[in-house]
Amino acid sequence: MVDDPTALPPVSTTAIGVAAIRAAEGARPDALFGDPLADAFVRAAGSLWSPTTVPEQQGRVAAVITWVRVRTRFLDDLLLDACANGCRQVVILGAGLDARGFRLVWPPGVRLFELDLHHILEFKERVVRDERREPACERIVVPTDLAGDWTRDLGAAAFDPARPTTWIAEGLLVYLAEETRESVLDDLSARSAPGSRFGLTLANAERRPEPSSPAGSVPSRPGDYMALWQSEPPADPEAWLGARGWRVELYDAYERAQLYGLPTTPTEATRRHARLVDATRV
């Protein structure tokens, strides 16, 4: 259990909520993925996470759960497809408690870089050691701040910009200030060889709910994470990424939920969350 729940920055606690949703996936008859480490993360977090919701929050929480389930499967598929087509270098930005390095079946030769703040990665590594888990690929943890010189830290970890890379930014960009977000996009685009892939999620600004917790507080429910948003997603993802040399395929969360066979409705899946992006460097 975390010794001091306030030791993690508020934005890092979003990873606990996502882990809780992923931990519950295995018990579902319509499970889209498995994550054997997720429950260990939640247990170790202790009081940082509470699933309790009041009635008016239940619809909001259901939408967030559907969103996390769909985006997790979408990005799993994207990563495995990229690797099946020869990519052997993966970077997860704002990795949090992402356990893909342990739970996906990777081909030989994959090098996976996980980037996030020092505190959340330290917590994650402690749980991984306690659970005696071994990664299924070469896994390189890079403590860094995306608002700082993260490219220097990534380069020092032996990242090779000459090789095609699959980048993942899951549930991340809204927590970055717009200036930081644009800088991160410029930097990763400059380090993406032709054939690189970029999987990212974009929450819909028009569907953002009002937070139920004060800004700056440590969130304990999915809906409360909206208080930590620092920027709105781009209105035109194709133009936004296209200007940086990416060919974009854009997907709607409801349509993907249907494809995955989830018993969902347009209101539940897309009321406040919407878009999934699969971009290729040209």
Q: Are 164 and 85 in contact (CB under 8 A)?
A: no
Q: Which residues have a Cβ under 8 Å from the Cβ of 116 and sit 6 or more positions away?
A: 12, 94, 95, 96, 143, 144
Instruction: Provide the CATH topology of domain 61-211+229-281.
Output: Rossmann fold (3.40.50)
SS (H, E, C) 150-183: HHHHHHHCCCCCCCCCEEEECCCHHHCCHHHHHH
| 226 or 261, higher pLDDT | 261
At residue 211, the pLDDT reads 47
Res. 95: pLDDT tops 70: yes
Task: Delimit the domains of the chain by residue range.
Answer: 61-211+229-281
Q: Which residues have a Cβ under 8 Å from the Cβ of 268 and sit 6 or more positions away?
A: 59, 62, 63, 66
What's the rounded mean pLDDT across residues 75-99? 98
Q: What is the pLDDT of residues 165-204, one digit of tens each?
A: 999 999 999 899 999 999 999 999 999 999 999 999 998 6
Identify the helix (H) or strand (E) that includes residue 185: helix 178-190
CA torsion through residues 272, 77, 93, 119, sign: positive
Q: What is the pLDDT of residues 194-251, one digit of tens each?
A: 999 999 999 865 544 444 444 444 455 554 556 677 778 888 999 999 999 999 999 9
> Whole-structure pTM over 0.75, yes or no?
yes
Give the residue among 114, 115, 246, 116 at the shortest CA–CA distance from 186.
246
CA torsion through residues 218, 224, 227, 232, sign: positive
Res. 269: pLDDT tops 60: no
User: Cβ-count burial of 146 within 10 angstroms (0-12 exposed, 13-18 middle, 19+ buried)?
Assistant: buried
Res. 87: pLDDT tops 90: yes
Using pLDDT thresholds of 50, 70 and 90, give the confidence band for residue 61: confident
| 221 or 47, higher pLDDT | 47
What's the rounded mean pLDDT across residues 125-142? 97
Distances (CA, A) of 124 to 19, 45, 129, 203: 11, 10, 9, 25
At residue 54, the pLDDT reads 43
The rounded distance, in Å, linking the Cα atoms of 149 and 127 is 27
